[in-house]
């Protein structure tokens, strides 16, 4: 059977709290609900209580994994970490859902990980040679085991986390709960994936996005800096590694966080996600103007860029589609006819705004091309005279090694066709992708530089790492 999944995905969301009251499980649940867009395959929460770690995780949405019964079974705890998963490594099974609980000689930790560690297999083989066992196929389990191993070797939690990080290659935003009642968070030296800190009267929270902090009652403090380790314990927060104001020459936030991954109400590394997408649309209107009667965005990811295109071009913005918000996760259907029907069920044209008009259709990306083809066809079937496709990211041509599920360049339509061929394939009357320079211009307020390797093939320079555990 084939899964109807037409967007790019990246691996997971993380959330953690260190509180002065025993409300950790419920607040972490609220945080995960807000971060559901980053992963719908599984969810888990681990709570620290009296030196022990209690964990519940399973396949499904946050609300499916945690009913009132599951939340009520957690003991009172001041420290918790949570995880929502979309897997880019490892199969979709309960064992691959975080957080991962790892026990070692003097304690235990729960680790939630967002990203993709590119040398996980080598580390796994080395750790297995030392007698460590693995129950999952996820790189996140490897990260947790490595941290536990290094804590034992280094004789301290903080020292062990820093040592473990020296071996990791790739993308890793980590939140770790220790049985010592410490909450530790770390972001890789390149800053590929976001991570931020919040504070309120009862403690601190760390999350993949600021929207989760606000929804859970925390005031955004700042982003975790690339290469920084923070520790929250007993109402105090300490920072280790890089410090505010340092030059982050190797920083490389995935620019697709602004294009699609992050929620529009989040602020990532100093830039409003909504503002960046609005800017993308405005720049698209400058780069690819067209005579048209209406602009509409593909829900939900194209709506903000469509607003920017409309404002810059002066072409009225209309609602072009009605989205079925009660379907939930992606469909699984065995035949092509059923798969086509599934797409129509999720997104249906609003013919009253479409019929007889020349439409500018704005979306965040074209990956394989099949969905764009169906959407353009649906608009023309609804009576659109013309459909002019505008895309707020450059053409995807390269695989990603840092947590986005572009695993095979043969699946990318931009690798097989030129612009005119793609335009004909999807049935549009014209097609325009934002230039990489335009995309960067739309995101100029971001405090970091960007990884744009999926567009250009040129990844950011990664800091040297040790290849062998010592």
Other Cβ atoms closer than 10 A to 270:
11
**Residue 456 pLDDT > 70, yes or no?**
yes
| 109 confidence band (pLDDT: 50, 70, 90) | very high
Fold classification of 2-251 is 3.60.20
- For residue range 20-31, what is the model confidence (pLDDT) as tens digits? 999 999 999 999
DSSP 438: H
Supply the pLDDT for residue 247.
42
- Write down the CATH number for the domain with range 267-456: 3.40.50.2020
pLDDT (average), residues 222-229:
94
pLDDT (average), residues 432-452:
95
Instruction: Give me the residues paired with residue 207 across strands.
Output: 15, 196
What phi and psi values does residue 326 have, to the nearest 5 degrees?
-110, 5
Element (H, E) at 239: strand 236-240
Q: Which two tokens stand for residue 164?
A: 């473990």
Is 211 tagged catalytic? no
Question: Rounded to an integer, what distance in angstroms lies between the CA atom of residue 73 and that of residue 413?
Answer: 48
* Cα–Cα nearest to 145, from 135, 154, 132, 158: 132
Supply the pLDDT for residue 127.
94
Residue 348, Cβ density class (10 Å: 0-12 exposed, 13-18 middle, ≥19 buried): middle
Torsion of CA 153, 155, 156, 161, to 10 degrees: -10
- For residue range 383-400, what is the model confidence (pLDDT) as tens digits? 999 999 999 999 988 887
- For residue range 139-166, what is the model confidence (pLDDT) as tens digits? 899 999 999 999 999 999 999 999 999 9
Question: Rounded to an integer, what distance in angstroms lies between the CA atom of residue 444 and that of residue 437?
Answer: 10
Q: Taken in order 352, 354, 360, 365, is the CA torsion positive or negative?
A: positive
**Residue 138 pLDDT > 80, yes or no?**
yes
Contact 321, 302 (CB under 8 A): no
Supply the pLDDT for residue 345.
74
Question: Rounded to an integer, what distance in angstroms lies between the CA atom of residue 415 and that of residue 427?
Answer: 18
**Residue 425 pLDDT > 90, yes or no?**
yes
Supply the pLDDT for residue 154.
93
Other Cβ atoms closer than 10 A to 370:
17
Supply the pLDDT for residue 408.
73
Q: Which pTM value belongs to this model?
A: 0.89
- Distances, alpha carbon 154 to alpha carbons 111, 150, 159, in Å: 18, 6, 6
* Cα–Cα nearest to 38, from 366, 405, 347, 333: 405
Between 363 and 245, residue with greater pLDDT? 363
pLDDT (average), residues 171-186:
95
* Cα–Cα nearest to 196, from 342, 16, 12: 16
Q: Which two tokens stand for residue 65?
A: 């994994």
pLDDT (average), residues 276-280:
98
**Residue 5 pLDDT > 50, yes or no?**
no
Supply the pLDDT for residue 148.
95
Task: Domain ranges for the chain, please list them.
Answer: 2-251, 267-456
Q: Which two tokens stand for residue 222?
A: 């700042």
């Amino acid at each position: 059977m084939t899964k109807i999944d037409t967007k790019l995905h990246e691996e997971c969301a993380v959330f953690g709290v260190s509180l002065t009251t025993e409300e950790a499980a419920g607040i972490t649940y609220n945080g995960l609900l807000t971060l559901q867009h980053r992963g719908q395959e599984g969810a888990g929460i681990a709570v620290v209580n009296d030196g022990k770690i209690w964990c519940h995780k399973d396949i499904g949405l946050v609300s499916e994994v945690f009913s009132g019964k599951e939340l009520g079974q957690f003991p009172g705890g001041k420290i918790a970490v949570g995880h929502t998963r979309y897997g880019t490594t490892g199969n979709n099974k309960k064992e691959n859902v975080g957080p991962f609980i790892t026990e070692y000689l003097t304690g235990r930790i729960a680790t939630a990980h967002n990203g993709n560690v590119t040398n996980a297999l080598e580390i796994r083989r080395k750790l297995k040679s030392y007698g460590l066992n693995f129950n999952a196929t996820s790189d996140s389990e490897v990260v947790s085991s490595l941290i536990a191993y290094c804590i034992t070797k280094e004789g301290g939690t903080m020292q062990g986390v820093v040592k473990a990080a020296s071996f990791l290659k790739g993308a890793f935003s980590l939140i770790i709960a220790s049985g010592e009642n410490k909450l530790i968070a770390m972001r890789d030296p390149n800053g590929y994936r976001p991570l931020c800190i919040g504070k309120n009267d009862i403690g601190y929270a760390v999350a993949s996005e600021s929207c989760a902090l606000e929804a859970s009652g925390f005031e955004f403090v700042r982003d975790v800096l690339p290469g920084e380790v923070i520790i929250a314990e007993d109402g105090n927060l300490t920072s280790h590694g890089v410090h505010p104001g340092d030059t982050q020459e190797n920083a490389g936030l995935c620019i697709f966080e602004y294009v699609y991954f992050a929620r529009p109400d989040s602020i990532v590394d100093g830039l409003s996600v909504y503002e960046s997408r609005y800017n993308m649309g405005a720049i698209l209107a400058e780069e690819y103007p067209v005579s048209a009667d209406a602009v509409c965005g593909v829900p939900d990811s194209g709506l903000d860029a469509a607003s920017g295109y409309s404002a810059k071009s002066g072409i009225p913005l209309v609602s072009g589609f009605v989205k079925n918000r009660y379907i939930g996760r992606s469909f699984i259907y065995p035949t092509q006819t059923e798969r086509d029907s599934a797409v129509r069920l999720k997104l249906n044209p609003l013919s009253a705004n479409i019929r007889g008009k020349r439409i500018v259709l704005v979306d965040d990306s074209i990956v394989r091309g099949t969905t764009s083809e169906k959407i353009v066809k649906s608009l023309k079937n609804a009576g659109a005279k013309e459909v002019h496709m505008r895309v707020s990211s450059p053409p995807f041509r390269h695989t990603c090694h840092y947590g986005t599920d572009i695993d095979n360049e043969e699946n990318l339509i931009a690798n097989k066709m030129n612009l005119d061929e793609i335009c004909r394939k999807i049935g549009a009357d014209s097609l325009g992708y934002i230039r990489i320079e335009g995309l960067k211009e739309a995101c100029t307020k971001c405090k970091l530089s960007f990884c744009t390797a999926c567009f250009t093939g040129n990844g950011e320079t990664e800091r040297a790492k040790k290849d062998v555990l010592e």
